[in-house]
Structure 1
Amino acid sequence: MSISSFPSSLEEEEKEEGDVGSAVEGESGGSQNGGRGREPEYFGWVYHLGINSIGHEYCHLRFLFLRGKYVAMYKRDPSDNPGIKPIRKGVVSHTLMVEELGRKRVNCGEFYVLRFYNRLDETKKGEIACATAGEAQKWMEAFDQAKQQAVYDLSIATGRHKLKTASELNLEGHRPRVRRYAHGLKRLIRIGKGPEMLLRKTSDLESYMRTNTYLEVDTTDAIEAHDWRCVRTANGIRIFEDIANKGSKTFLLKSVGVVDASLDTVFEVVLSIDRNKRFEWDMLTGELELVDSVDGHYDVVYGTYEPKNLTWWHTKKDFVFSRQWFRGQDGEYTILQFPAIHKKRLPRSGYQRTKINPSIWEFRRLGSSESPSSKCLVTQMLEVQSSVWDRFKGDCCFNFERTIQFALLSQVAGLKEYFEANPALTSETPSTIVHSSCSDDAIDRAELEDSELKDEFYDAIANGDSLEDEDSDDDDVEPSKAGKVTFKNVSWAIARLALKRNSDLLKNSELDARTSAITIDPSQFHGSLHQGKGETDTNCWSTPTGQGFMIRGKTYLKDHSKVLGGDPLLKLLAVDWLKYESNINQIALHPKCLVQSEAGKRLPFILVINLQIPAKPNYSLAIYFGAEKPINKESLLGRFVDGTDMFRDSRFKLIPSIVKGYWMVKRAVGTKACLLGKAVTCRYLRQDNFLEIDVDIGSSSVARSIIGLVLGYVTGIVVDLAFLVEAKEENELPEYILGSVRLNRVNPESAVTLPGCCSDTAASSPS
């Protein structure tokens, strides 16, 4: 994390009176004056991590405070220590990025680490650690709100009132002398339990409901192929089988249950390997031991179990498996579990080594910010051999309840009973509101906003404020108004006709209707990856229809309805599959790029999306879309193409959908839309007749983890990608698909190197 020192002298400090500590002594107060005064304040204990001047790592317990876009850090809680001065303070900037590094060992405990860095200068960085994944997410949401405030203030500011970046200081360096931070605080939102609970690494957290987001729980953003049928109900859970993929060697089962606890709490309990906790709900794999931690989102675990209570044999079993977890932009948690081999854990004497079934845990919050709920939907999916499952179903004498598979699926029931028997885990909340006794007249924003402030607290986050639909379990809940499909009761013929009409209207609004369209000849454009000639062709690309995606409809702001996507606005020209030792930026400027060809220069507009994939070597998937008319400058696309990077980051959206591939990869990638500008670092290059977007997937540890899994199965995957400019205002709706591409079983070995291609990581040229 990096902030800049305030340009204050000792004389200025002595002139200032009061501080944030004196402002939070009281516990009650009136309402604030003005809309701008109603912004909440967030505070709580965190660990500040870094390296000192002599190269030693440090880990300091600090009290972090955030109001609006202003941040302060204290050694002690200012409400308990009136008159204390902050040791650091600064202003949230629109250029700050926050990366979730996952679980790390800090002070003999497992904590969740957030990395802060400047998007334009990654040398300015720092880290904080939180007790739970839920607390880390809440801080990310708080800083996201602060960033939005910074973006807004910057958009309306002029001259000397604009944020300045001089006197920047790394948090890992020397602490500056600072003046008073704030005065007249009214609404404080506490995150976490305090230093004692932080050190004990508690997990009794309840979900903090965001104030300006809505979780849509009934639809996804791409059509899924699974077809689930309930085959058993036991202990308050339902067990389903996937009947869509009959004939394959493996079969999918899943158990689904509603757990009366917050999303973060349930996730912490499942991820915990604490023996005493697991013995209370896990009847099979209670004995677990951490073998290796690869990174904050990936580890290897060793376990044992005795199946004598389930089967007729009494052989002791041991196993090794890897766990990979991540949280989506909608707050949903996913844990992938694969059988593994590790040299540190050979078979134990007296135990028989076995492989656990590949499985996935999914945790989804029920309800929305407008209707808070402490309950969550827990789903566990399990892969079994088809022959084994067929035998279970065909043998009426066979007791499925006495199998290992049933014991694994019953872990959901164990969680349900565990939380019902421990109400203390669900009754306490980490977010409490504290009011000050200051009068409304005491709040003077000018005192909070120093007009000569030069400090910047750089931030941006991976969790966006515009949450997309939750993953759908069409067998779990009935469709609601928050996620209905417009064409549910309309014939497909009428739907297609409406899509075509909307597509024609769209082209007239987003593209310049006063200019005649040119004819795009696909034969004039070539990339290193060839266009597919049929469904059986491999290592190729094609253009899918938009009807496999769900996008925001005309009435989305009123009823959150989504509609089937129509034909893409831009035509897919070609795809390059490239490799290099480091990221390849600004591909469009390369003389061999189709953008620089004579045919490319004649096109009114070209959109280049460069997906930078971290690996050894690094890959770049460059996708080229062309327009048959110039862009309408007044349209949403025109404002995106010629807008600021801040605007582009808040609107550039991707919907992925794996059409064919291994089921665990499908679940890991998901089908929900992602705001790429908030999840990873995007760099933009606007010149001549093109816009290039360089998407650095490696800038997020979560994205790196997922893409690493995908690369392991990429030669057997068919994936559709749809790119959109997110519509947020009524006059921008309905949404449209900007461009789409289908990648059919791409072979990494076929990637080529462009001679003389720029491979540095410099930022793009100004727009």
Structure 2
Amino acid sequence: MPARGDVPNTIKLLSELERSWSMFTATWKAVDLFAGMHIWQEQDRSETSSSGASTSEPLNGMFLSTASAGLVAFIAATIGGGGVVVAVLLSVLVVFGTVWTMTGVRARRDVPCFKVLKPIDGTPSEVFLYLMNINNYAVWDASIERASVIHTIDDHSDIIHVVYRPVWIWPFWVTPRDVCLLRYWRRTEDGSYVICVQSTVHPECPPTHSVVRAKCNGGGFIIAPRNQVTAQPDELTSMVTHVVHLDPSGWEGQLLKRFNMVYAFLRPQVLALCGLQEVMEARKYVCPNISEEFATATAHAEEMVASMSGNPHGDNANDANGGGSANASPLKELPTSVPRAMWAEPDSGAMLVRGPDYLTDRRKVPSAPPAFRLVGVDLFQSNKAIEHIAGRPDNIIQQELKRHDAEGTEMPFTFVINFVVPGSPRLNLVLYYQTPHASVLQDGSPFAELMNDFLDGTDEFRNERFKLIPCIVEGSFIVRQAVGSTPAIIGKKLRQPYFRGRQYFELDVDIASSAVANRVVGLVTGYTKKLVIDMGFLVEGQRADELPERLFAQRSLIRLDCPLGNSPSPPQKPHSYDKKDYGYGYGKKDHGYDKKDYGCSYGYGYDKDHGYGKKDYGYGYGYGDKDYGYGHGGYGKGYDKGYDSYGHGYSKYDSYGYGY
């Protein structure tokens, strides 16, 4: 393998080599038509100067020659007194020998190259990113059994291993083939993308006995944008050219070449663009969440049964996992700070998870729709790292709990993921997910059992199981290379505290706890306005009874504007916890809290709760007739010099306040 420092020269040499590839230099002729798509075959140089009639002469001559030889052999054997059986056997041998001799020229020729062109929905960058994701190969290409990346060389090249399915060609199945490919790509000045593949060798990808190692003589994809002159504003399509130049190899490959059956073998690969078109076009449509509709129907049925039995609230008790009552309210989006246009839920089928037999066959399958739905995204700045965001009195979760209490309903169980991003200022990206109904956690499925184990388990168990699947859908090569697309158990690398409250569970991801993650996120933060980032969350199944896996949540951030977040919920000031930002002791004016409920000089928290972070901040209470306020968990210094009618306890140390 070339050294990393030699990669630019290697890519330059490969680009020079492309000039001799049939992919770029061949003359083509149409050989088939499928669903309105022409299939083109490389035209042999000897055919370029001849007519179509003359090209059929060798075939006619072979037919006449073999028929004549067989007839002569049959007559000779009959006259010689050998009998009919001997005559037939001799004729067959003569015909076979004649065909084998006359097809020897074709067997010595190179395997022809095949090409198809098809318009695909999506911009060139979208199509390119989808094609580059190795996990998508088996989704859109029916000829591929599995594919994997063996070695990443640099930002523009890697080594991949592809295993093809067996092909039926009457009267037998052709043994499966595999290839070890050098894949490299580039973007041209006109906005096109070129992906090239050719066979190579790699110590981590040796040939095996179960499949035949085929040889790729140079193929790939060319993804071209529309002509800007003729393109319509709403037409986001790309012209994709797929070139297949694969030698089947082996004794079966020799037979395929002799009898002109190579195209029949390669046809599933050639028609793979039809699958790509279907996948890309399907992304334009809404994916119906059948599981959610089924859960809602089940809930209505439970309500009817409960009402008929005289138990209007059902038999299930409420719990912190969202064990719901019959009056649980339907899901609706929360009034969070990030605009709706900047977040969405991607197609879950594009993310592969462990299948039901993964422990034996190591096969991954598309995930079922997520059990939790994304209902809101918050992004805001602060001067200190904020954890347990859902427990803050001003957070949307606490506000929703109060609203549901006032309406006599129950807030759906909410899973909160809080990414604490270091920097100046610090950022908090908060994702809110809710269950459409409690049944998704109570239906006895492997997902429900594993999810309950996660919610009720220890932090060690959670750290070993919480898995993140990243995917940069749209962005630069640098960011895509830095982030990657490999699933990760982030609890093994980052500090990941957990918090549980009434009808919610919060998981915080402390990016600052890892220097590597800090650098990667710092790189991504500078490109967020140009990125489309998909991310899936799941609990890893490690036992047979925990499979298949299922995403419990996912999200797509679309060109997120990081500076937009200044405060989690206006009209309050930014939650910086800076003593200069808050006046201590006059809660009604500075903090807007009800004078009857709060008398603490710091202005945070309920009168019994002492707010959040009681170990970090002391609250000097102005209640009672004692002449000083003490800080719960803090220093509690700063004597009161009097009380007003509201009991707010003015501090003579106004610039410092209590608890510091």
Q: TM-score range by the shorter chain?
A: 0.3 to 0.5
Higher relative contact order (Cα pairs below 8 Å, separated by 6+ residues): 1
More helix by share: 2
Q: Greater Rg, structure 1 or structure 2?
A: 2
More strand by share: 1
